[in-house]
Structure 1
């Protein structure tokens, strides 16, 4: 979606709400650059997961394992913090400049999507370690 949005596509941007939607409407150069960068970061995460499908050298295995585990933790944390923030806004405990349409999408789709993705990254790392890494290979 990031590449689609960076290229000028608008489908789904309203569901993001707030300043993100405003920046998308205004097509600010700096914002579009950030959207392109996030697309490449997401692509890089997908590449790391794809690399887990193969057994590499001991060092590469270790790097892939930790990248997946730490990346998954941060992706889950990102979704969870956003979810809690939007939930607090729903109960009036935080004041956010976001409409109800976008707020619903963020709570029911976007943030759970990020949390699920983070959990799947962590699970992928754990399964990779279990299936492809010799016991005690992470001792320093």
Structure 2
């Protein structure tokens, strides 16, 4: 297995943007928050100190992905460290993609009134057009940051 430097770079940019949104919202910014919909949007209009703390913490947690991607760039002396980091990147990619995909499916089902969500049409639109695909794209960046030496996915 080897590093895919393009996917690592895209993943780094994606992660900085992703965590930056949380920091922006934690500082009181409201641009884009309506597109999340539901209770998150309602809480952001008049946030409690515990809600702001949670938003700050999510920003820092998202930055852990940046540390992971940067660690992939290091040439570790012990191969076990490299293998563990490669595995963590693959698993993180799968989880990010699945989170976005499953949300996409459930929100789509709610548009057909199969499931009932507390999302207005504005939030539903943006969740399907931007947020859930955004999660999935991040998953693709993380997953393909590592490629097999013999793979159809080599670039």
Return the TM-score normalized by structure 2.
0.78
Residue 64 of structure 2 is matched in structure 1 by 44
Residue 71 of structure 1 is matched in structure 2 by 92
Residue 32 of structure 2 is matched in structure 1 by 12
The answer to which structure, 1 or 2, has the higher relative contact order (CA under 8 A, 6+ apart) is 2
The alignment of Structure 1 onto Structure 2 pairs a total of residues equal to 129
4+ residue segments displaced more than 6 Å: none
Q: How far is 1:29 from its partner?
A: 2.1
The 5 Å alignment of 1:68-107 reads: 68-107=89-128
Taking only aligned residues, the RMSD between alpha carbons, in angstroms, comes to 1.6
Deviations 1:15-56 (A, max 9, x none): 111111011112122222221111111111012112212221
Where structure 1 has 5 or more consecutive residues not aligned to the other structure, the ranges are 131-140
Deviations 1:86-108 (A, max 9, x none): 10011111111111011000000
Query: Structure 2 residue aligned with 1:112, among 133, 137, 145?
Result: 133
CA distance in structure 2 between the partners assigned to 1:86 and 1:73 by the alignment: 20
CA distance in structure 2 between the partners assigned to 1:103 and 1:122 by the alignment: 27
Name the SS of the counterpart of 1:93 in structure 2: coil
